[in-house]
């Protein structure tokens, strides 16, 4: 029996037929006696909504600068439209699911995130996770579908990076697997996907130039997630309804598994 946290981004949500396949993949995990937890983003949907509102926005070091009006749109899109679109698709495929946001039951408690000391508005960093509502759903064989929008102890609402939300959920749940569905097949070393990477290899791979660019923070984040309680982190592409079952099986995984 495994707990499998899955992070999907806006590109995954938008891809034709992929939500149906994701629902089938989670249903397959349940049939195997495992517990899937889905955490989603929705950057493309947010950008479209802000465009409809003629609301300009900027990024600082990959973080969207979020004023009050933007935060209202983010919450509407992520916790409303995107979250319910995923839940509806799961239900249509016969997979019982329930949508949550980090606000519900204070699932995620956040504090204001500063970027190099700079205030970028209502952008948060998760400091606490209340696993009780997720565990209730898992015990009832209901798939939690989680929007990363979170709150602070004073009731302020914050936009939180979905990768970070998925990581904190996996740590708090002591998940057996955290699966990042990516637009790359895995971590490439010498031109080929490396199927398995130990956390104690990561800095050496970086120092030797085998891992570069955006994959560096992904691997370092994976090492931190494992050090704090999750067991395995996977970076992979989607390849159909068998993806989650295969990527969490060392004999069948096509992507990269990072482990202690």
Other CB atoms within 10 A of residue 197 CB: 22
Which helix (H) or strand (E) segment holds residue 7: the answer is: strand 3-8
C-alpha 224/C-alpha 26 separation (Å) is: 26
C-alpha 121/C-alpha 101 separation (Å) is: 19
Quick check: helix, strand or coil at residue 250?
coil
Cβ burial, residue 112 (10 Å; 0-12/13-18/19+): middle
What confidence score (pLDDT) does residue 201 get?
Answer: 94
Does residue 55 carry a pLDDT above 90?
no
Q: What is the mean pLDDT of the segment spanning 136-149?
A: 97
Whole-model pTM? 0.94
Other CB atoms within 10 A of residue 239 CB: 13
Q: What is the mean pLDDT of the segment spanning 206-223?
A: 91
What confidence score (pLDDT) does residue 238 get?
Answer: 95
- Note the pLDDT tens digit of each residue in 180-193: 999 899 999 988 99
Strands 143-147 and 196-198: unpaired
User: Which DSSP string corresponds to 60-74?
Assistant: ETTEE-B-HHHHHHH
Tell me the pLDDT band of 4, cut-offs 50, 70 and 90: very high
Other CB atoms within 10 A of residue 194 CB: 18
Alpha helices in 132-214 (DSSP H): 132-139, 162-172, 202-207
Which tokens go with 142? 């209901």
What confidence score (pLDDT) does residue 61 get?
Answer: 76
Q: Please say whether the dihedral angle defined by the alpha carbons of residues 41, 259, 107 and 246, taken in this order, is positive or negative.
A: positive
Average pLDDT value over all residues in the chain: 94
Other CB atoms within 10 A of residue 36 CB: 26
Which tokens go with 152? 């602070």
Question: Tokens 């195997």 correspond to what residue?
Answer: 32
What confidence score (pLDDT) does residue 1 get?
Answer: 82
C-alpha 205/C-alpha 223 separation (Å) is: 13
Tell how far CA 187 is from the center of its chain: 18
Does residue 257 carry a pLDDT above 90?
yes
Does residue 218 carry a pLDDT above 80?
yes
- Note the pLDDT tens digit of each residue in 87-130: 999 999 999 999 999 999 999 999 999 888 888 999 999 999 99
C-alpha 35/C-alpha 54 separation (Å) is: 41
Alpha helices in 123-201 (DSSP H): 132-139, 162-172
């Amino acid at each position: 029996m495994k707990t499998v946290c899955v992070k999907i981004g806006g590109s995954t949500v938008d891809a034709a037929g992929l939500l149906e396949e994701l629902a089938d993949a989670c249903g397959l995990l349940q049939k195997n006696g495992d517990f899937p937890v889905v955490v989603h983003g929705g950057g493309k949907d947010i950008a479209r909504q802000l465009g409809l509102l003629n609301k300009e926005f900027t990024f600082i070091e990959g973080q969207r600068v979020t004023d009050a009006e933007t935060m209202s749109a983010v919450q509407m899109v992520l916790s409303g439209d995107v979250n319910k679109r995923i839940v509806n698709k799961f239900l249509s495929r016969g997979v019982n699911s329930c949508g949550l946001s980090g606000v519900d039951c204070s699932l995620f408690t956040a504090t204001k995130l500063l970027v190099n000391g700079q205030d970028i508005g209502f952008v948060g960093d998760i400091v606490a996770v209340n696993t009780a509502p997720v565990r209730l759903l898992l015990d009832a064989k209901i798939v939690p579908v989680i929007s990363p929008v979170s709150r602070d102890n004073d009731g302020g609402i914050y936009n939180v990076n979905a990768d970070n939300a998925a990581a904190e959920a996996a740590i708090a749940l002591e998940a057996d697997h955290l699966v990042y569905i990516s637009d790359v097949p895995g971590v490439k070393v010498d031109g080929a996907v490396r199927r398995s990477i130990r956390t104690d290899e990561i800095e050496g791979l970086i120092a030797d130039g085998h891992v570069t660019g955006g994959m560096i923070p992904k691997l370092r984040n994976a090492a931190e997630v494992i050090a704090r309680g999750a067991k395995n982190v996977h970076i992979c592409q989607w390849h159909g309804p068998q993806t989650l079952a295969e990527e969490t099986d060392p004999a069948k995984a096509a992507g990269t598994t990072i482990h202690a």
